[in-house]
Amino acid sequence: MLGKSELADDKLLNELAGEISREVAGRCLINESLARHTSFRIGGPAGLYVYPASVDAASSLVQLCRHRGLEFFTIGYGTNLLVSDDGFPGCVIDLADGCSRVVTFENGLETGAGVWLNEVVRIAAESGLAGLEKLAGIPGGVGGGMSMNCGAFGSAISDHLVDVDVMDADGTVSRLSKETVGFNYRKAPGLAGKTVLKARFNLPAAAPEDVLRVVDETVSERFRRNVMNLPSAGSVFKNPPGHFAAKLIESVGGKGMSVGGVEVSELHANFIINRRGGTAVDALELIRRIRRMVLQQYGVALELELRRVGSTDDPEID
Ligand SMILES: Cc1cc2nc3c(=O)[nH]c(=O)nc-3n(C[C@H](O)[C@H](O)[C@H](O)COP(=O)(O)OP(=O)(O)OC[C@H]3O[C@@H](n4cnc5c(N)ncnc54)[C@H](O)[C@@H]3O)c2cc1C
């Protein structure tokens, strides 16, 4: 793999960007700030940030990265990410351009991984297709949602899923059934190391006005309970079996605790808010402190729900 120091060399980055522009249909950015692509507004630059224009282009890009020893990962809308202040010394793949179609059927729909999940929820509701409405208001895309098995109010994105099209790390595309993926609470083990390209859902028919009403109610409830309009990465920790992470954090006095520019939300103790230009170093220190307090008082080791990108060598957290 090309290292951080090699990729700090603008000449090499320009050379790689030139090669990508020649061989991969799509847009390629150099030293793109990842703070611009994350809801936390934290993170240094990605060496290369590429929007492949199609599935074929995404496959060519992955092959090129492998050939050139360039580390890569697929980003969604960055709503569950904590990116290191050093950024990511490789290639970030964004499917917002290349996997952006939604097609509805009588009993379901097929959506590209790069589509904003709320757009899919709205299209389903307006088409009289039920089953996705409790996901309304979860920020992020379909691919990120699949990878996280996102969910809320007792519903998960995998509930009505039939199958997903995925690309392996060598660019090969295949179809995986929902059962093969083995979805679990905020986990999709069968998708590890793969890029989701498309997902198909079986959705029962319902009156559009009924589905839209539940969508509206769900969004209102979400805004009442969660911190939706300040920079954050959503829930920081998973709920440990038998507990709610937010309750544990609140009961050890975590609410309002701050480090540098970040602080634990007063509304929802499992959210860390980036109030004043916080950094990844600030966020990680606050995460460590909260974890220690909960571990000391309850003997529960909180596990991260958000995903870390970039230098992540931290045995206490990872
Ligand atoms: C205000 C707020 C509220 C939230 N509420 C909820 C909630 O109620 N429930 C919930 O579950 N989550 C919630 N989240 C977290 C987040 O919205 C979800 O996890 C979301 O599904 C992440 O999608 P994304 O596209 O932003 O993924 P990203 O954050 O970009 O990526 C998350 C992970 O998915 C991977 N990934 C992204 N795209 C693909 C792809 N195409 N193929 C394979 N892997 C991919 C990334 O590599 C990364 O590991 C909330 C976040 C915020 C900021």
Q: What is the pLDDT confidence band of residue 221, given thresholds at 50, 70 and 90?
A: very high
Q: Is the pLDDT of residue 218 over 90?
A: yes
- Ligand 1 centroid – CA 79 distance (Å): 5
Q: Is the pLDDT of residue 317 over 80?
A: no
139 lines ligand 1 (CB under 6 A): yes
Query: Is 36 among the catalytic positions?
Result: no
CB contact at 8 A, 30 and 47: yes
In DSSP terms, which residues pair with 56 in a beta bridge?
Answer: none
CB contact at 8 A, 199 and 267: no
Q: Is the pLDDT of residue 121 over 70?
A: yes
Quick one: average pLDDT of 10-19? 91
pLDDT value at residue 226: 82
Q: Which of 133, 235, 263, 308 is catalytic?
A: 235
Looking from the CA of residue 40, the nearest atom of ligand 1 is 53
166 lines ligand 1 (CB under 6 A): no
The distance from CA 310 to its chain's CA centroid, rounded to whole angstroms, is 15
Q: What is the pLDDT confidence band of residue 311, given thresholds at 50, 70 and 90?
A: confident
Average pLDDT, the chain: 95
Share above pLDDT 90 across residues of the chain, in percent, rounded to a whole number: 91
pLDDT in tens, 179-193: 999 999 999 999 999
Q: Is the pLDDT of residue 4 over 90?
A: no
The correct CATH number of 4-94 out of 3.40.50.620, 3.30.300.130, 3.30.43.10, 1.10.357.10 is: 3.30.43.10
Q: Residue 146 CB: number of other CB atoms within 10 A?
A: 25
Quick one: average pLDDT of 273-291? 97
73 lines ligand 1 (CB under 6 A): yes
Q: Is the pLDDT of residue 214 over 90?
A: yes
Reported CATH class of domain 245-309: alpha beta
- How many whole angstroms separate alpha carbon 83 and alpha carbon 37? 10
144 lines ligand 1 (CB under 6 A): yes
Query: Is 186 among the catalytic positions?
Result: yes
Share above pLDDT 70 across residues of the chain, in percent, rounded to a whole number: 95
- Ligand 1 centroid – CA 150 distance (Å): 7
* Three-state secondary structure call for residue 95: coil
88 lines ligand 1 (CB under 6 A): no
pLDDT value at residue 316: 65
Query: Is 235 among the catalytic positions?
Result: yes
pLDDT value at residue 318: 61
pLDDT value at residue 148: 96
pLDDT value at residue 166: 98
Q: What is the pLDDT confidence band of residue 313, given thresholds at 50, 70 and 90?
A: low
pLDDT in tens, 233-244: 999 999 999 999
Quick one: average pLDDT of 222-249? 93
Q: Is the pLDDT of residue 280 over 70?
A: yes
Measured by CA distance, the residue closest to atom 49 of ligand 1 is 307
Looking from the CA of residue 222, the nearest atom of ligand 1 is 8
**C-alpha torsion sign, points 69, 74, 77, 81:** negative
User: 102-225 adopts what CATH topology?
Assistant: 3.30.465
Quick one: average pLDDT of 102-126? 98
The domain ranges of the chain are: 4-94, 102-225, 245-309
Q: Which of 27, 66, 68, 186 is catalytic?
A: 186
307 lines ligand 1 (CB under 6 A): yes
Please indicate whether residue 317 or residue 52 has the higher confidence score (pLDDT): 52
